[in-house]
A = this chain, B = another copy of it.
Amino acid sequence: MEEILVYGHRNPDSDAICTSIAYANLRNILKNNERAVAVRIGELNEETKYALEYFGVDNIPYVDNVAGKKIIMIDHNERTQTANGFEEAKVLELIDHHRIANFVTAEPLKARVEPYGCTSTIVCEMYMEKNIVPSKKMAGMMLSAIISDTLLFKSPTCTQNDIKACEYLASIAEVDLNKYGMDMLKAGTNLSKKTLKEILNMDMKIFELAKGRFGIAQINTVNEKEPLEKKEEYLKEISAMIEELKLDGFMFVITNILTNNSVAIVSGEKVDVIEKAFSKSNDSIIELPGVVSRKKQIVPPLTNA
Chain A interfacial positions (CB closer than 8 Å to B): 94, 97-115, 129, 295, 300, 303
Contacts and interface: CB of A to CB of B under 8 A. Distances in A.
B104 A108 contact: no
A293 to B, nearest CB: 11
State the majority secondary structure of interface residues on A.
Answer: loop
Contact of A109 (B94, B108, B113, B295): B113
Contact of A101 (B99, B105, B300): B105
Contacts of A109: 99-100, 113, 115
B104 A115 contact: no
The 3 closest A-B pairs by CB, nearest first: A111-B113, A108-B115, A101-B104
24 contacts: A94-B113, A99-B104, A99-B105, A99-B106, A99-B107, A99-B108, A99-B109, A100-B100, A100-B103, A100-B109, A100-B111, A101-B104, A102-B104, A103-B103, A106-B303, A108-B113, A108-B295, A109-B113, A109-B115, A110-B113, A110-B114, A110-B115, A111-B112, A129-B129
A227 to B, nearest CB: 29
Contacts of A97: 108
A304 B103 CA distance: 19
A106 B107 CA distance: 23
Contacts of A300: 106-107
Most chain B beta carbons < 10 A, residue from A98, A102, A107, A303: A107
A94 B115 CA distance: 12
A105 B129 CA distance: 27
A295 B99 CA distance: 25
Contacts of A108: 97-99, 113-115, 295
A104 B112 contact: no
A252 to B, nearest CB: 24
A109 B122 CA distance: 13
Contacts of A111: 100, 111-113
A94 to B, nearest CB: 8
